[in-house]
Structure formats: C-alpha cells, structure tokens
Structure 1
Amino acid sequence: MAERAAHTTTSVQTKPSIFELIAQESLAETVYPAFKRIVQFLVSRNPELWGWLGNWCDESYLVLNSFIQYYYMKNRSASFAETFYGLERVSVLKDDLHKLNSRQKFWSLMWLTIFPYLMTKFEQLAEKYRYEEAYESETLFALPKSYKVGVIKCNSTLNFLFGTANLAQYLLYMTGRSHYHKILFRLIKVSLVYYDDEDQLSLRDLWSCAWRGRTKIPDFSSQLVLKTLSAGFEAGAFFLQCLNWYNLQSVERKQQILPLPKPPPQISRGLRPDLCPICQNRRRIPTALATSGEVFCFKCIKPVLDNDKKCPVTGLPSTVNDLIRIYHH
C-alpha cells in the first residue's frame, strides 16, 4: 500500500501542465520548417552541390530526425523537444509509473520519425490531387477521378479523427482523468513526467571525473562527444525559439509602421470584362489573382507566374499561391 501511495504521489507531483506539453510540441513543429529553410538557402547558393538535398528534403530530414530522436530516446527516454523542456516518458501500468520497456521505446521512436514522415507525404499527395481537381490540371499519367477524390476524403477524415481524438485526450488530461495528453501516448501506454536528472552527469562533472581518473579515456571521449552534441542541439533549439519570436515581432512591427498602400491605377485594356487579359478569349476555369484582382484563365496565368513571378497586367509580385478559383453558380 505504501509503495502504491508513493507511486501515486509521484505521478501527481511530476505531472507537467498542458501549457508545457503544448510548448514542447510547438518546438518540435519548428524544427522541420527550419530544416527546409536551411535546405532552400543551400540550394539557392549552390544548386549543383546541394540540388539533390532539395529533391530529397523530406527523406534527408527523416534520417537526421531519426538519429537525433534515437539518441535522446536511448539516453533520456524522451524526444528532443521533451528533453529541452525537462520531460521524460514513463510507462503507465495500472496507474503506476515505470521506466519504458523496449517495445514502448521502439513505438515511441516510430511515432516521432516514421509516422510524421508518412503523414507529411500523404498530406502532400492529397494537396496535389486537390489542386488538380480544383483547376482541372492535366498530368502525364492520369489517374481515375474516384481515386483522387478517395485520397482527398481519406486525408480529411484522418485529420478530423486524429484532431478530435487529441482534443478529447487534452480535455481528459486537464481534468485529471487520464495520464495521456495525446491519443498516440494512450495507444502505447506512455505518459510524460518531469525528468529526474540526479543520476546524469553534466559536462563539468564529466571533466571532473576524468581529471580524477574515475573514468576511462574511451568512455570519457564518447560521453564528451555525446554531451557536446546534446548541448549543441539544445542551444540550437533555443536559437530557433528566439528566431521565431523575433520574426513574429518584426512582422507585427512592419505591419504597424507601414502605411496603407494606394490602390493601383485603373488600367483600360479595351477588353470585355469576361475575356482573359492574356489570351483575350472567354475565360476558361476563371481564376483571380489576389495581389491585383485580375481574373485570368488558369492555364494562361499559371505558366506566367511560374516564369515571371508577377502579374502580367499590373506587374505586382505574385506566385501560384495567390491564385483563387472562381466558381459560377
């Protein structure tokens, strides 16, 4: 009874707040966009050397993420982001907390690496089919429309179910009715608690042990490298958080300082309003360009934006992301 009471007391005292859990998830979500920006910068600087990295960006991140998460899962029983916020994963068995077993570590690693990669690929595929269906785009190998619609609906359904299940787990966790804050943690019976670092040596302690001859040189070298890499990763995570905060502040500051731009001058082209400014025929798949308000045929405006990156009428900088499909009732 006393042992069970001790476990229960520990689980209550070491239970992190929902805000800390959301914060570590936000940190985990910033790593992939930061990696993509670094890849884009390298490709823009030297396409011949780094072009392959741009083509295999998702796969390269999968390898890097797997290495980092494996190291932290093996040594800290936590992900990289969880370690940064002083958390660790524990096994929940009959309301008692224990160390993770090998099966739980394996599935934790899968959820941290393979699962996000597959979800990203499926999301990209669904977005591609959604784009093709919306703009009636033609591809070299045309797939049945029912297949594309099925992929789109399946992706939307999975996102809805996954989001709803996580929301329910958040509510159960906040009300103290569950140890798990996300559905994936419930599936593998894993919870997050504050990390007890009494048994962990810091870099200073490691040097002290080496100086006194309490550790062997090979062990000291390997631990020193791992500790240095770990400290570098955590410092990089802190830098990412600061950089995101600075970017948000600079965007808000620019929006407050810059005056409202004057509307562009009216351009008289002598065309009927239902004609495309590029092909000068009746618009097919009418698509508006948000930056200028002009309406074109989709097949006319897309190659222009891909090549020139600006509106062909007003000259305003524009991309394909600024296109808006117009539906007639």
Structure 2
Amino acid sequence: MLMQVGGEGDRPTFFEMVAAQQLPESLRAALMYSLGVIAQRRPIVHRVLDYSDEFFAFLMLILEAHNVRTADASFAEALYGLRRQPVEIVTDVTQKKSSLPSRAGLTRAQKSLSIFFLVGLPYIKAKLQGAYTAQRGSALQTALWGSSSAPVEEVVPHNNRSIFQRWKLNLVAFLTYSFPWIHATHEGLSFAYQLLYLLEATRFYSPALYLTGVYVRRASGQELLDGTKHIQERRNHDYERIRGPASLKAVQRGLLKSLYTFLDYAQTGLIAGVFLFKMMEWWYQSAEERVMAPTIYPPPPPPPPPKVAPNGIPLPESVRTCPLCLQRRTNPAMAAVSGYVFCYPCIYKYISQYKRCPVTLIPADIEHIRRLYKDA
C-alpha cells in the first residue's frame, strides 16, 4: 500500500483521487512499452500487442476483481489505502448493538457494477475510440483520393450488400456521428463531478461512483489489519473446499497458491514497473537527445568590412562623423551593401542620385538603406 497524502478525516484529497484514477493509464503505458521492447527480439509478442486492449482488460479484470472481492476497493484505491463505502447502510435493527458492524461492505450488485465501470467501460471506450478513429481516417482518405481507396464494402452498391453489411455500415455511420457527443457528455460529467468534489459539494468523485451507489473513503489502520486477516481466512476457506483424490487436491492447492502469490506480488511489481518505465523513458529520452542534438560550433568571425574604393569618399577620423557632410551623425542610417553609416538625409540623397555606396562604390538602391535607432 502506498502512503496516504494529507487531508483530514476519512475523506480522500482530490490529489489522491486523481492519482488513483491515472494509475491504470500509467500502468498500461508501462506494460505496452515493455512488451514493445520485448517484441523487437521476440516477434511472437506482436500477437499480444495486436490484442493489447483485450490483454490489458483481462489483466485488470483479475486485479480489480480480486481487490473488489477482498478489499472493497479498486486496484489503485487499495494501493492508496482507500475503500469503497455504500451510500445507504441498511442494518437489521433486531440484532444486538455489539454485533452491528461499524462499516458495511459492498453488496454483490455494487461489486459487479464496480468491476464493470473499472474494466468493462474503459475497454468499450477504447474499442469505440479505435473504431471511430479508423472510420474518420477512411472517410478522410475517401474525400482526398476518391472512392477507389475506400474499403470494398463501401464500394459495393447498396442493393448488392448483404443484411450484415448493411447493418455494419449503419452501425459505423451511427458510431461516427454519435461517439463525439457521447464522449463529450461523459467527459463533461466527469469534469463536473471532479469540480464538485474539489469544492467539497459532493462525496462522489465520478458519475460511475454515483451510479454504483458508493463513495470512496480512507481506511483506518485497524481496517487494513482486519482486511489482511480477512484475506487469509478466505484463502484458508478456499483451501478447505478442495475435493478429490490426494494428487488432484495437491495440484489444485498448488494452482491456488500460485494464483494468490501472483496477486500478492502483482501490486508491488506493477507499481515498480511503472516507476521503471518512467525511469527508462527519461533515460532513453535523454540519451536520444544527446545523440540527435546537433554539434554546437563556435560562431564564425564576422567578415572583414569592405575596402574603401580609390575613387570613393574617404572615411573621417571619428566613427561618429558622417562621411558625406563631415558633421556629427543625426538620424543615422546604414548602407546595407557596405555596412557604413551616414546621416539618413545625406545617404538618401546620394543613393537616389548615384545609385551606389559613396565609400565603396558598390551599386545600391533606396531599398538598401536601413534606419538605425541606436548609434554606436
């Protein structure tokens, strides 16, 4: 379990909820990056990457189902010491007060809904996003290059299509039109709930928690200890339910033990994988920047100034004196073809008449005059 950060009471801070929400995405990025690196040496791993959505959903289904079943929390919430609490706690008033639980656990329906919103909904959203992106890309390609580049089912005349093809095309068309609105509505509701949670106007961080009928709270130290004891009791109960011959019981017990060991170390291992992924990303990015960065050379020396022409106007002794009027420069301007500075009225009249620089006699025009706003 990760360390709880700040806040008072059992209400998690906004930053804890954001961290718990973003952890699965970071885990997915780390996992896909690791598989991509392995696939470069083992091409068979590309088959896993082709079904990355299904692979990650299956992995999260195992982790989320285990945590919701044993800890009444999602995988990320359990790492931050958080628990899900039903909004309405219904107890039997005929029971003795000493036997009433201090915290009611999630019902079976709430656990099922929690798993759906944690695993099923993100998987459906990812598949819809992929289908929408592919459809938009196909539509854009058809608009640019014509119907010759469209898929075969789009080129076949409408009357010659089968019922399945018509249904598929209608579904894709409906998806293309409605998915942006559905996505925008979902993101807008999520933002509204997060804003209300930040302002402490509601205990629900997301619409999914509201529909499930639960809110997230911090778990006390005693609850964490009781949760560990409860998990061990449940596992012992699972071991006792094993039936069959001695050899079969040994195999089943070994499989259960392996599964529980995997689940015990999965959380720590996956979080370590996220940190390792971030470190590798930083390391390779820094190394790539060093390799791809251009070599920095010192700036070249400025070219020598043009020589004064034998028939040109000689330069005065003072660099602040105009070579034409031999007075201190006012309203300075430069002849861009040579770099020498004169008074603006002097150089303007000279170039207008002679079409050259008065010092170097290099051909020039009015467009080569540059006004200077700071004289050296």
Give the TM-score normalised by the residue count of structure 1: 0.62
Distance 2:150 2:73 in 1: 46
Per-residue CA deviations over 1:134-171 (Å, capped at 9, x if unaligned) read 22242122189986554233221122111110111011
Cα gap change, 1:223/1:16 in structure 2, threshold over 3 Å: closer, same or farther? farther
C-alpha displacement of 1:34: 3.1
How far, CA to CA, are the matches of 1:223 and 1:92 in structure 2? 34
Is residue 39–residue 57 contact of structure 1 (8 Å, CA) maintained in 2?
Answer: no
Alignment pair present for 1:159 and 2:187: no
Task: Decide whether aligned partners of structure 1 residues 161 and 253 sit closer, same or farther in structure 2, where only a CA change above 3 A counts.
Answer: same
Rg larger in structure: 2
| Correspondence for 1:240 | 273
Contact 1:166 1:182 in 2 (8 A): yes
- Structure 1 residue 90 displacement after superposition: 1.2
**Match of residue 66 from structure 1:** 61
Contact 2:36 2:49 in 1 (8 A): yes
Alignment-derived partner of residue 197 in structure 1: 224
- The one-letter code sitting in structure 2 at the alignment partner of 1:98 is A
Q: How many residues align?
A: 242
Identify the match of residue 14 of structure 2 among 11, 15, 18.
18
**Candidates 213, 229, 234, aligned match of 2:262:** 229
Matches within 5 A, 1:1-329: 13-47=9-43, 49-50=44-45, 52-93=47-88, 98-136=104-142, 137-142=149-154, 150-195=174-219, 196-201=223-228, 218=239, 225=258, 228-247=261-280, 249-250=282-283, 253=286, 259=293
CA contact (8 A) 1:91 1:97 kept: no
Instruction: Give the distance between the partners of 1:253 and 1:34, measured in 2 at CA.
Output: 18
- In the alignment, residue 239 of structure 1 is paired with which amino acid? A
Instruction: State which drifts further: 102-111 or 245-254.
Output: 245-254
Moved more, 177-186 or 221-230: 221-230
- What TM-score, normalized by structure 2, do the two folds share? 0.55
Q: 1:60 to 1:245 in 2, by over 3 A?
A: closer
Inter-partner Cα distance in structure 1 for 2:51 and 2:238: 39
Residues 217 and 53 of structure 1: CA distance in aligned 2, closer, same or farther (over 3 Å): closer
2:225 counterpart SS class: coil
The amino acid across from 1:86 in the alignment is G
**How far apart, CA to CA, are the structure 1 residues paired with 2:128 and 2:237?**
48
In structure 2, do the counterparts of structure 1 residues 261 and 102 end up closer, same or farther at CA, with 3 Å as the change threshold?
Answer: farther
Secondary structure, in 3 states, of the residue corresponding to 2:153?
A: coil
- Measured on the aligned residues, the alpha-carbon RMSD in Å equals 3.7
Change (3 A) 1:146 1:226: closer
Moved more, 34-43 or 107-116: 34-43
DSSP-derived class of the 2:64 partner: helix
Judged with a 3 Å threshold, the aligned counterparts in structure 2 of structure 1 residues 129 and 222 are, in CA distance, closer, same or farther, namely closer
Give the drift of 1:200: 3.1
Deviations 1:172-217 (A, max 9, x none): 1112211100111111111111233021337xx97xx9xxxxx799
Please give the alpha-carbon distance, in whole angstroms, between the structure 1 residues aligned to 2:86 and 2:238.
Answer: 35
- Specify every segment of 5 or more residues in structure 2 that has no aligned partner in the other structure, as ranges: 1-7, 91-101, 143-148, 159-168, 241-252, 297-376
SS in 1 for 2:54: helix
Q: Shift of the alpha carbon at 1:92? A: 1.0
More off after superposition, 237-246 vs 247-256: 247-256
Counterpart AA for 1:234: Q
Deviations 1:239-259 (A, max 9, x none): 133124324543674587564
Distance 1:217 1:117 in 2: 30
**Residues 147 and 108 of structure 1: is their aligned pair in 2 closer, same or farther, counting only changes over 3 Å?**
closer
